[in-house]
Structure 1
Amino acid sequence: MPVLCMFYGIIVRMYREIGGKHNTPHIHAEYSGQEIVVALDGTILEGKFPKSQMKLLDAWMEIHKDDLAANWKLLSNGEQFFRIDPLK
């Protein structure tokens, strides 16, 4: 699964799904052994994160919502994804 970004110990990934079997665009994130799946609209689909890391992830997703949508489309079409800048 391609890594889109890493920041403050959070690793953000997105599956490469040609043909897109998942209906809801989403990311997978990991922090210190905890995993969460979050729709690009911010809805938590699965898992949980510590509160402070969830705030960081939410902020990052809001800042990069267009980049996330573009990567979802690229990966769903079997094309090359691009890295997204971390929070600074």
Structure 2
Amino acid sequence: MKENVYLRCADVIYCTKSKARKYGSFIKINGMPQISFFYGIVILMNFADHAPAHFHAWYGDFKVIVSIKDGVVKGEMPGRALKMILEWLEIHREELLSNWVKAQNGMPLDKIEPLN
């Protein structure tokens, strides 16, 4: 059984490839797999999490929960970072919904391309 890796957001931002290999294909923060990373923003999704379908986004000390279907945001995030998160959501909504179903069934999650 793989151990959960508890890292601060800053640790993930500067995580090396060798460190990522050590813990498998996903870095986990508080038990949540990282499914994407762009411009210092870490995107996470929890297994067997509460409805509605959502993902977590961390940027430095800021954290938000974003509803996949309607983009409703709970939490605090700088405007520029939030704009990028919502743009990424629009591009990858179907992939996020697919990952949500997988997460609810305890299946491995797919990594999702970062915002370019």
TM surpasses 0.5: yes
1:57-84 alpha-carbon deviations (Å, 9 max, x no partner): 0000000000000000001011111000
1:13 to 36, 40, 44: 44
Tell me how far apart the structure 2 counterparts of residues 29 and 23 of structure 1 sit (CA, whole Å).
17
Structure 2 distance, partners of 1:47, 1:75, is 22
Structure 1: 5+ residue stretches without partners:
none
* Post-superposition offset of 1:32: 1.2
Superposed CA deviations along residues 18-56 of structure 1, whole A, max 9, x for unmatched, are xx5x12000111001110011112001x21110000100
1:25 and 2:53 aligned: yes
Alignment match, 2:88:
60
Normalised TM-score (structure 2): 0.70
Bigger radius of gyration: 2
Stretches of 4+ aligned residues off by more than 6 angstroms = none
The two structures have a TM-score, normalised by structure 1, of 0.92
Identity of aligned residues (%): 36
Q: How many pairs are equivalent?
A: 84
Higher relative contact order (CA 8 A, sep 6+): 1
* Helix, strand or coil at the partner of 1:24: coil
Q: Which runs of 5+ in 2 are unaligned?
A: 1-31
Rounded to whole Å, the distance in 2 between the matches of 1:6 and 1:78 is: 22
**In angstroms, what is the RMSD of aligned CA positions?**
0.8
